[in-house]
Amino acid sequence: MGDSKSSPESPKGNPDQNPNQIAPDNIEKSLDSIIREFNDSVSVGKKHKFWETQPVGQYKDLGNSSLSEGPIEVPTPLSEVKQEPYNLPSQYEWTTCDMGSEETCSEVYNLLKNNYVEDDENMFRFNYSKEFLRWALHPPGYYKSWHIGVRAKASKKLVAFITGVPARIRVRNEVVKMAEVNFLCVHKKLRSKRLAPVLIKEVTRRVHLENAWQAAYTAGVVLPTPITTCQYWHRSLNPKKLIDVGFSRLGARMTMSRTIKLYKLPDSTASPGFRKMELHDVPAVTRLLRDYLAQFAVAPDFDENDVEHWLLPTENVIDSYVVESPNSHDITDFCSFYTLPSSILGNQNYSTLKAAYSYYNVSTKTPLLQLMNDALIVAKQKDYDVFNALDVMHNESFLKELKFGPGDGQLHYYLYNYRLRDALKPSELGLVLL
């Protein structure tokens, strides 16, 4: 069980590419940083030495119709789950991170801010806010014991981190209790200490202790075996800044003024009844979302408590908007995006790239194209620089039309200890992991 996100790759695009396209930044981060560190820490040459020992889909089983879908290994009796934490190098010790503590949350924030995933050219690094971390790690029913840190014994400095949060994920017709594993980070100076594989094993052990035996995670690298592979698309909201900081380039035969004009958005939203989501909208949004997600092969099984937590707006964390019919006052549509900035490294004029990420969007009366254009408009009004979206669910239907450009990197989705016989198309996936 692991988590590691894809590092933001070289963000600059080919100057000859379509001017509508923004170069990759792969601002996603989930199973990839872990795996990269993990692969560095185990024997080189046996790329999947660890994963070939794990209950995950294996390449040798591809196309084997005799294998059934579902759990790969049966649960161990809880009494047989290892009760003691895994051993760390002698100068380090485990700590459970209380993200409700301002001091601990600040320590985690600073560890990630200074050591989490960067692009290959060291121009951008993810900068999850403390508010975002609390939101991401405190869903209904969370376990504090799944927020795992490593400290140096001598200084008590936090030097590594990994997390899991509980989720109910529906896989076809089965709702499965899972952990979503994320935020693996090892201090840059300790990358040779083999901490990452121990972190993966420890979070797996603690998940098992809560009688959960499956997990979901994403990675920017190919491991055994993705259930689907998605691509990030980027929509410029502040093209001059994106070009100035090297996130994207001017297209061939394009001037800055023409580029700014190309990406200009209307001053106000187009959908009558478009407004910010409020607490009393939770039941209606839950119904819309459950009905919508039912069509996808893999999707979260959200109830009203989940919707209240994950979708009710929190400033600079999650933005959600509904369309309320002016006549019936029914909630007919909604859209949402979360906030994940990146630090801009070594730029004299700018320190932060403010990025919005498409989350869950449901259209029943308002065309999805119009709904998402309204989302772009409100994101621009709130000073976001770029709007990112994966090609999951029905997103592909609006990407090109709304001037999103494809990034270079791919995001692979994985399930731990759960087999799908056949890989899914991105459009069959109804799950967005942070």
DSSP state at residue 19: T
Catalytic residue among 111, 242, 311, 434: 434
Determine the Cα–Cα distance for residues 428 and 430; give it in Å rounded to an integer: 7
Tokens matching residue 85:
């934490």
Tokens matching residue 424:
């899914």
Q: Order across the sheet with 352-353: list the strands.
A: 124-126, 342-344, 352-353
279 is annotated as an active-site residue: no
The pairing of strands 214-219 and 174-186 is: parallel
Determine the Cα–Cα distance for residues 237 and 257; give it in Å rounded to an integer: 14
Tokens matching residue 138:
């405190």
Query: For 43-106, where are the E strands, in sequence order?
Result: 92-96
Determine the Cα–Cα distance for residues 363 and 386; give it in Å rounded to an integer: 22
Instruction: Tell me the H-state helices in 253-348.
Output: 256-262, 282-293, 304-311
Single-letter residue type at 170: R
Determine the Cα–Cα distance for residues 120 and 353; give it in Å rounded to an integer: 17
- In sequence order, what are the beta bridge partners of 232? 390
- In sequence order, what are the beta bridge partners of 231? 410
Determine the Cα–Cα distance for residues 262 and 249; give it in Å rounded to an integer: 14
Of the candidates 127, 92, 59, the residue with the CA atom closest to the CA atom of residue 341: 127
CA-based end-to-end distance of the chain: 16
Q: Which residues are catalytic?
A: 434
